[in-house]
């Protein structure tokens, strides 16, 4: 069974519906995805598969496999981190628990599926930074308390871009002019990806940026 697959015991009526779904795909000449080819089990789809559908397959193999997986998974790498230099930016970064400046810091990533959500636990050196991701209205929603972001995923053959479309501070919608500007890009590598992240705040400029190579655990 591949990393895209998981088996769940389901009632006979549900299993029959799954079989009918796969038969229909076969009749149309459409090859079932690997995560659907589980005899007698409900096809499980990852969070990113539910959002992107077939567009997930545009990604380079290591990225596609990581985001298509429905089981806990890990990755690690080395990042360069730079905080903003302004007084207010430094204060916000400190209060928000963001990692400090570093030319090279070990980074680990653990993703834990939690029902129809995923918990992303990043550790910069010995400093954890956790968030919760789920799907709503075709967007990836990520809560990194106290902020929640609604993100459009844009995949292509080189990697994945994350474009922020909505922002909330707690339950309160934040106007776009006042929302943080978050630029995130992942570029596929043979055994992982390279990550670029930059966060800017209105009136204060850059809050933080970091980049580095991530390697998936086999």
Asked if residue 118 is part of any domain, the answer here is yes
The helix (run of H) or strand (run of E) holding residue 61 is helix 61-68
* Percentage of the chain lying above the pLDDT 90 cut: 72
Would you place residue 162 in the very low, low, confident or very high pLDDT band (cuts 50, 70, 90)?
Answer: very high
Pick the more confident residue, 11 or 65.
Answer: 65
How much is the average pLDDT of 153-165? 98
Is the same domain home to 33 and 103? no
How many residues does this entry show for the chain? 218
pLDDT at position 203 is 86
User: How many domains are contained in the chain?
Assistant: 2
Q: Is residue 152 part of a domain?
A: yes
Closest CA to 184 of 127, 120, 137: 120
CATH number at residue 112: 2.40.128.20
CB 212 within 8 A of CB 97: no
Instruction: Please determine, for residue 215, whether its predicted confidence score (pLDDT) is greater than 80.
Output: yes
Of the pLDDT bands very low, low, confident and very high (cuts 50, 70, 90), residue 29 is low
Q: Does residue 115 sit in the same domain as residue 188?
A: yes
- Tell whether 86 and 38 lie within a shared domain: no
**Could you read off the pLDDT of 106-129 as tens digits, one per residue?**
999 999 999 999 999 999 999 999
Same structural domain for residues 40 and 89? no
Question: Quick one: 8 and 99 in the same domain?
Answer: no
Arithmetic mean of pLDDT over the chain? 85
Mean pLDDT along residues 171-192: 95
Supply 206's token pair: 């850059």
Residue 59 lies in a domain: no
141 plus 188 within the same structural domain: yes
Note whether 91 and 133 are same-domain residues: yes
50 is a domain residue: no
| pLDDT recorded at residue 61 | 97
User: Given this model, what pLDDT does residue 132 score?
Assistant: 97
Residues 119 and 211 in one domain: yes
Put residue 27 in one of left, alpha, beta given phi > 0 → left and psi -120 to 50 → alpha: alpha
Helix (H) or strand (E) holding 192: strand 192-201
Percent of the chain's residues with pLDDT above 70: 80
Phi/psi-derived region of residue 84, left when phi > 0, alpha when psi is between -120 and 50, beta in every other case? beta
Note whether residue 11 is domain-resident.
Answer: yes
pLDDT score, position 18 = 41
Q: Do 8 and 98 fall into the same domain?
A: no
Statement: residue 65 has pLDDT above 80: yes
Mean pLDDT of 21-27: 47
Same domain, 95 and 160: yes
Residue 68 lies in a domain: no
Residue 198 lies in a domain: yes
> Considering the domain boundaries, does residue 149 fall inside one?
yes
Clarify whether residues 202 and 126 are in a common domain: yes
Considering the domain architecture, whether residues 87 and 166 belong to the same structural domain is answered as: yes
Other CB atoms within 10 A of residue 51 CB: 23
Domain residue limits at 23: 1-44
């Amino acid at each position: 069974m591949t990393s895209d697959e998981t088996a769940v015991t389901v009632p006979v009526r549900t299993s029959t519906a799954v079989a009918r779904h796969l038969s229909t795909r076969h009749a149309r000449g459409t090859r079932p995805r690997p995560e659907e080819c589980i005899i007698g089990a409900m096809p499980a789809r990852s969070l990113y598969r539910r959002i992107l559908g077939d567009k997930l397959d545009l990604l380079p193999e290591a990225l596609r496999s990581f985001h298509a997986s429905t089981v806990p998974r890990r990755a690690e790498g080395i990042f360069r981190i730079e905080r903003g230099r302004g007084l207010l930016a430094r204060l916000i970064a400190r209060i928000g628990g963001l990692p400090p400046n570093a030319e090279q810091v070990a980074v680990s990533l653990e993703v834990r599926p939690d029902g129809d959500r995923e918990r992303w636990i990043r550790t910069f050196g010995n400093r954890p930074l956790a968030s919760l991701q789920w799907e709503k209205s075709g967007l990836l929603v990520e809560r990194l308390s106290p902020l929640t972001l609604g993100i459009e995923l844009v995949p292509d053959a080189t990697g994945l871009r994350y474009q922020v479309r909505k922002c909330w501070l707690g339950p309160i919608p934040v106007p776009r002019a006042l929302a943080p500007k978050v630029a995130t890009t992942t570029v596929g590598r043979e055994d992982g990806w390279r990550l670029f992240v930059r966060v800017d705040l209105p009136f204060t400029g850059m809050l933080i940026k970091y980049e580095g190579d991530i390697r998936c655990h086999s």
